Structure 1
Amino acid sequence: MSVRLIAFTAALLASTACSAEPQRQGGGATAVSSDVTSGPQGPQVAGSNDPVPKNAPAPTARNVPATTGRANMPATPPPVAIAEMGQFDAPFAIAFLPDASLLVTEKAGALKHRAADGRVTNVGGVPAVAGGGQGGLLDVAPAPDFASSRAVYLTYAEPRPNGGSSLALMRARLEGEQLRDQRVIWRAGSDGPGGQFGAVIAFAPDGKSLFLTSGERQRFTPAQDPEQLLGKIVRLTLDGKAWPGNPMYKAGGARAMTWSSGHRNPYGLVFAPDGRLWEEEMGPRGGDELNLIEPGKNYGWPLVSNGDNYSGVEIPDHPSRPEFQAPVLWWNPVISPGGMIAYTGAMFPQYRGSLFITGLSSKSLVRVAVNGAQARAAERWDMGERIRDVAQAPDGAIWVIQDGEKGGGGKLLRLTPKG
């Protein structure tokens, strides 16, 4: 397809965000030792430690090109005032606390607490992480009842005793500037090499369960394996067990935890005000996706994608296999999506109900207007730097953080109305 040829250069620029780089083990200065053999243990599949493959499995269907839903649009200057609020070292996620202070994860293994007055301190008690590539300390999410429980959830690439790493979910209590009562409550299993952890947390609107994105670790086929938790969105209780209302709960094991399957590298997961669950994920060479997530549905990776392998080998588009859920919107050339919010604040009333998606290789912030199950690309703001994550402050301001480089290049920015 000609649009795929156009996408090649942009996809190469995205490779630092979604390339097939094996993970190297490391840890942050604040890491604490822990027994990684304790706690929940996911399935260990034969071949998990094999090198990651270069291409998706050979196509089993004739390609039927996707003709609707492409969301690319020209970038424009941001129509907002932008103020720098600090710098961080290779940050991954930002999350506001009720007092307008901010938690920031740095991939090397540090958790920072930025007070409302701008003071930044290190939080102690952070788990050891497998750093390098796309691994490290990843998402952070305060519990819905944080004001009373002080509970926070962390996702990270955990070094594993049988080789490589696994996505892990930890629950802890934030007491002052220290994590207490740390407990790993969930692991993806299928330990081994590969990036693409996903690792994003979203709480159900009623605050009684959580959703977690688990990437397929650049291994392709686990996304279609119901016995593995890779390439899935899982729904869990707040203590990491399978949610009783899940589509295959009675089947037990990985199936019991699975909410949806067929995902590649899901970096954004949010509930819209109407309760619908939206997810965005990095595609391969082209084909980044915005999906409306429904229980029990399969979104097709790696059997279908509106992008291709990095080698140039074609993957059939979604219309080739209509039994899979197609994205509502997709981008080719890629935007390399990072974090995402559904905006609900008072500071920008014109944006209420919109999704904001950060762009890494595209160096952008993308606004998507949502109406029920429908979505349309509305704006793409040229931010000039790779944007990793986005958060809505208690006052309704939009905060973003740049991807940055080691040494403090990740700028924290506050977006407010001009004038």
Structure 2
Amino acid sequence: MEVSKSESVKKKKRRLRLEEKLKIIDAVDRGFSYAEIASQYGISIGSIAYINSNKQTYLSAIEKGYNLDIKKTPTEVTQRCDQEIKEFIEKSLNANLPLSRNLITTVAKESYTDNGKTNFKGSNGYYNRLKKRLNLKKLKLPEDDAAVDSLKLHKWKLASFEIISEYTQNNIYNLDETGLLMKKSPECTFFDDDNDDESEEVKQKKREKKGRSWLTIIFICNMSGVKEKLKVINRYEKPRALRRYNFDHTKLPVDYYFNDNAIMTSDIFQSIIMKWNEELKIQNRNVLLLLDKLKGHHIDFVPSNIKFLYLHPDSTPVIQPLEAGIIKEFKDHYISRYRKCLLEEMEKTATNIQFAIKKLNIVNVIQLINFAWQDVKTETICDCWKNVLDQKTNFASLFDHNY
């Protein structure tokens, strides 16, 4: 018997949408026979039986918010992973954090690996199906990941959302330090490199001399633009210039500290925090202090009125307010005042610039530092905070307390 061409063509299997499968389950529950339902939808009785046997899987998909137009219902593992991804996306959007395709597929890969699917690839096809399953069609994401946070930093920011939102602008502070050479020719940078043509002995002498004139300055300011008193670390406890103050550090316009290398240490940091904590106790204030993970920033003392929030170690130049332009403006003001001071000394004594630099002492430099800090405008500080903290999302954006 000869079979016609139309009869030899295999009938294409119809794939039902999730919405149709739910209607079939409802029809079965209402007492319709498998044959009646199969005839209505143009599928086999066996398909009806299979759909009804997987009733809980489809109902679970609806509870988790899946798109009714999807045809392939996700497995339990896929549903768990999708739920984790959906929560990640929602938290990111609530915190106004940037997302990208690569970031989402990286989260998906972690989730599938944790659920035993080690061969997950995260292809473009998977991403498109994920968007359809989770109703993410309107979510616009950049194709390029160059300007988007790494997954570690992104999660790090999410973890800080609730912490930062607990504090007002007046009680969110940033602490950072910078180095400064007290005596330097104004024609050169304050951080110049050694000359390659000089002998090693000359370079060593220059480095030793540079070390003797090196200061570390500690800055603290809050979101409202309030500037705390500067802290200065020098190498000497009683420099000769302090004789006029009878070596009384409290008469200086800054908090004065010292150690052999003029650098931040745990002991100095603890002294700063303990003193500030006592002041906050009197004011009945609790503050959040953002700072980097410098070794000297770790202490055994736990302040009662100050909570530390350490910044991501690889991103402080981007997300730290003081490094977003505040310290730079301070240095610009300092250099301007420093040059003016040298010129005035040269005109007053009719000497050359090297003599004017030599005559400059630690007290003069500290006064210049204090004036330069006063010159930094409140608007500048507020703008630098805005660059790293999103005002529209209750200041949530960048940190993680558990890092």
| TM-score, with length taken from structure 1 | 0.18
- Which structure would you say has the larger Rg? 2
Where relative contact order (Cα < 8 A, 6+ residues apart) is larger, the structure is 1
More helix by share: 2
